[in-house]
């Protein structure tokens, strides 16, 4: 597992348990063993299951952990996600951290699946964005991928995306593209007007971002592009409008809501003594 995920798990456990789980230490004898079950309380797309074992390992491990479903699986209410057997103290002190991660990440996967389903049958794919919870980007992007959307760049370090403020700071579309071309990595540029669109195309831009257009405007601008560059749309896209945008001829639609506004799903944990 990536070190960022392990760091996130350690921070989450420390945040919740602190110097010790007072309730569990007071009520549960040290040698008590138990079995626990994670259950879906609603229809959802699952994500975050690979965090369960390292969560328990951070608190001493468990005897047995079985996953009944994998990330990306569609679950119905009442489906069992996983079974875990071990120290009752460990199961109880890890309960909330395990649920928090899986509920949050499964919420992202569930919303991502809804967006992906809306564009089925078109030649357009939905992208996630960098609008993620600080420190949890890698996990949230994995959840978005489990839901069926395509991961955009991970950060500022793996691709160039020239946006309006970069264009302003560089002195215009042409100088921004000329400078970026020297970096030797993929370059995408946002254009905000028809003049910028034509200028970017004249400069040989291969990847365009069109932001905050209506579906009709997007259709008209993409007709001007005429296949000379890949086109990504963004801005104000929701589940009700994404299909209309996908049918404009765009190659991609980026949706920040997949990670910044996905509601957590309902999962529960049930424990029984052995």
Q: Which of 35, 41, 130, 163 is catalytic?
A: 163
190 is catalytic: yes
247 is catalytic: no
182 is catalytic: no
163 is catalytic: yes
For the chain, give the DSSP string. Answer: --HHHHHHHHHHHHHHHTT--HHHHHHS-TT-EEEEEEEESS-EE---GGGHHHHHHTTT--SEEEESS-TT-EE-TT-EEEEEEEEHHHHHHHHHHHHHHHHHHHHHHHHHHHHHHHTTTSS-EEE--S---TT-HHHHHHHHHHTTPBP--SSTTSSEEE-HHHHHHHTSHHHHHHHHGGG-S-EEEEE-SHHHHHHHHHTT--EEEEES--HHHHHHHHHHHTTSSEEEEESS--TTTHHHHHTTT-SEEE-THHHHSPPPP-EEEEEEE-
Q: Compute the distance between CA of residue 188 and CA of residue 268 in angstroms, rounded to an integer.
A: 43
Q: Which of 16, 57, 79, 211 is catalytic?
A: 211
93 with 17: CB under 8 angstroms?
A: yes
37 with 80: CB under 8 angstroms?
A: yes
Q: Which of 33, 35, 96, 174 is catalytic?
A: 96
Which of 135, 186, 140, 187 lies closest to 166, judged by CA?
187
Q: Which of 125, 130, 131, 138 is catalytic?
A: 131
72 with 109: CB under 8 angstroms?
A: yes
Q: Which of 190, 196, 232, 251 is catalytic?
A: 190
Q: Which tokens belong to 178?
A: 């000329």
**Relative orientation angle of helices 88-118 and 137-146, to the nearest 10 degrees:** 60
Please give the positions annotated as active site: 96, 131, 163, 190, 211
């Amino acid at each position: 597992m990536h070190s960022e995920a392990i760091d996130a798990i350690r921070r989450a456990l420390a945040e919740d348990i602190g110097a010790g789980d007072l309730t569990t230490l007071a009520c549960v004898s040290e040698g008590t063993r138990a079995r626990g079950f994670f259950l879906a309380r609603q229809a959802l797309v699952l994500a975050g299951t690979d965090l369960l074992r390292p969560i328990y390992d951070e608190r001493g491990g468990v005897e047995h952990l079985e996953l009944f479903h994998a990330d990306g699986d569609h679950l119905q209410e009442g489906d069992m996600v996983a079974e875990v057997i071990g120290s009752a103290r460990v199961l109880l002190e890890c309960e909330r951290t395990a649920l928090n991660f899986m509920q949050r990440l499964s919420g992202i996967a569930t919303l991502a699946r809804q967006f992906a389903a809306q564009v089925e049958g078109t030649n357009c794919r939905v992208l996630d964005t960098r609008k993620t919870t600080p420190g949890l980007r890698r996990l949230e992007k994995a959840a978005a991928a489990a839901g069926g959307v395509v991961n955009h760049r991970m950060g500022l370090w793996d691709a160039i995306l020239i946006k309006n403020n970069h264009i302003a700071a560089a002195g215009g579309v042409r100088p921004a593209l000329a400078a970026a071309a020297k970096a030797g990595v993929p370059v995408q540029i946002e254009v905000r007007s028809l003049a910028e669109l034509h200028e970017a195309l004249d400069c040989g831009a291969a990847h365009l971002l069109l932001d905050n257009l209506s579906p009709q405007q997007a259709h008209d601008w993409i007709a001007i592009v005429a296949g000379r560059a890949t086109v990504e749309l963004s801005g104000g896209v929701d589940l009700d409008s994404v299909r209309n945008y996908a049918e404009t001829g765009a190659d991609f639609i980026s949706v920040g809501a997949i990670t910044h506004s996905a509601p957590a799903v309902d999962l529960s944990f049930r424990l029984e003594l052995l």
